[in-house]
Chain A
Amino acid sequence: MRDVAIIGIGHTKFGRASKTLIELFSEAALQAIDDAGVDLKKIEALFQGAALPDFEEGQVMPAVFSAADLNLGPIPATRCEGACASASVAIRDAAMWVGAGEYDIVLAGGVEKASTMGVNFATRTFAMACHAPTEGPVGLTFPGVFAMAARVYSRNYDIPLDNLRAEMASVSVKNHRHGALNPLAQFYKKYGDLTVEDVINSRLVADPLTLLDCCPFSDGASALVLCSAEEARKYTDEPIYIVGTGQGSGTPLAKMEDLTKPVSRINSARAAFKHANLSPEDIDIVEVHDCFTIAELIALECMGFFKWGEAADATVEGQTELGGKIPVNMSGGLIGKGHPIGATGASQVYWIVKQMRGEAPKGNQIDPIPEYGMTDTLGGDFGTLCHLILGRSKRRK
Chain B
Amino acid sequence: MENELKVNPSGVSGGTGGAREYTVLTQADYENGVKEGKLFGLRCTACKKITCPPMPVCQWCGSRNLERTELGGEGELITFTEIRVPPEGFEDDVPYIPCLVRTKEGPCVVGRLDYDAERATQELLGKQVKLNGSYTKGDKFSGGPRTCPVFGVIE
What is A's interface to B at a CB cutoff of 8 Å? 119-121, 123-124, 127-128, 132-141, 143-145, 147-149, 151-152, 154-155, 161, 203-209, 252-256, 259
Decide: A141 and B86 in contact? CB cutoff 8 A. yes
Contact of B108 among A140, A207, A255 (CB under 8 A): A255
Q: Hey, what's the 0/1 contact readout for B59-89 against A, CB within 8 Å counting as 1?
A: 1000000000000000000111111111111
A127 contacts B87, C-beta separation under 8 Å: yes
- Distance in Å: Cβ of A53 to nearest Cβ of chain B: 15
Q: What is the total number of residues of chain B having a CB less than 8 Å from a CB of chain A?
A: 44
Contact with A along B100-120 (1 / 0, CB 8 A): 100000011111100000001
The reply on B138 being an interface residue by CB < 8 A is yes
Smallest CB separation, A213 vs chain B (Å): 12
- A138 touches which of B88, B89, B98 (Cβ 8 Å): B98
Given contacts A254-B110, A255-B108, contact A139 B96 (CB under 8 A): yes
Inter-subunit contact B88/A137 (CB<8 Å): no
> Which residues of B approach A to under 8 Å, CB–CB?
27, 53, 59, 78-91, 93, 96, 98-100, 107-112, 120, 122, 125-126, 135-139, 141-143, 145-148
Distance (whole angstroms) from the CB of A389 to the closest CB of chain B: 31
Chain A interface secondary structure, helix, strand, loop or mixed? helix
Give complex CA distance A351, B82 in Å: 35
Interchain CA distance A332-B68 in the complex, whole Å: 50
Pick from B27, B82, B120 the residue with the most CB of A within 10 Å. Answer: B82
**List of 7 A-B pairs having minimum Cβ-Cβ separation, nearest first:** A147-B81, A124-B87, A207-B82, A124-B88, A137-B146, A120-B88, A139-B90
> CB-nearest residue of chain A relative to B102?
A254
Once bound together, how far apart are the Cα atoms of A371 and B152, in whole Å? 54
Q: A151-B80, A254-B100 are known contacts; what are 18 more A-B pairs with Cβ within 8 Å?
A: A132-B142, A133-B146, A134-B148, A136-B146, A137-B145, A139-B98, A144-B81, A144-B98, A147-B82, A148-B98, A148-B100, A155-B79, A205-B85, A206-B81, A206-B84, A207-B82, A253-B110, A259-B79
Smallest CB separation, A257 vs chain B (Å) = 9
Chain A contacts for B85, CB-based, 8 A: 119-120, 123, 141, 143, 205-206
